[in-house]
């Protein structure tokens, strides 16, 4: 949704109606899609932490290097946990699609 379209919708609907519609849209985002976005958001975070470690180490700000180095394994564990969650949700989604297809085939045979 582009910024111009967002502003136009804001003007058409007014703030109260706009946020009501926005809330319904956010509520309809599936867990699989949420997890996928979380996974992609880790990339810039990991890049920022790595860059921060490098810059602070070269700048001889060792206290900050230590803090960032401590956050790196925590972030990597979060990435792993989110990836495992994504794989399980993907399996559930694939199974549900397969069951829906079987149900549709069964209905067509009747």
Note the pLDDT tens digit of each residue in 21-47: 878 887 888 899 999 999 999 999 999
* pLDDT of 72 strictly over 70: yes
Position 67 in a domain: yes
pLDDT of 110? 67
Position 23 in a domain: no
User: In terms of residue numbers, what domain contains 37?
Assistant: 31-109
Rounded Cα distance, 57 and 66, in Å: 9
What sign results for the dihedral spanned by CA atoms 98, 103, 108, 110? positive
Cα dihedral value 79, 80, 86, 90, nearest 10: 150
Position 24 in a domain: no
Position 26 in a domain: no
pLDDT of 15? 84
* pLDDT of 86 strictly over 70: yes
**How many domains does one find in the chain?**
1
Position 3 in a domain: no
Position 98 in a domain: yes
């Amino acid at each position: 949704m582009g910024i111009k379209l967002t502003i136009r919708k804001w003007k058409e609907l007014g703030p109260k109606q706009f946020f009501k519609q926005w809330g319904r849209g956010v509520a309809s985002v599936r867990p699989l899609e949420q997890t996928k976005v979380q996974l992609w958001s880790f990339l810039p975070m990991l890049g920022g932490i790595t860059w921060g470690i490098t810059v602070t180490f070269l700048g001889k700000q060792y206290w900050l290097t230590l803090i960032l180095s401590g956050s790196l394994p925590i972030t990597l564990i979060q990435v792993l946990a989110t990836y495992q969650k994504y794989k399980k949700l993907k399996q559930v989604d694939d199974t549900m699609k397969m069951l829906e297809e079987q149900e549709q085939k069964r209905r067509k045979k009747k």
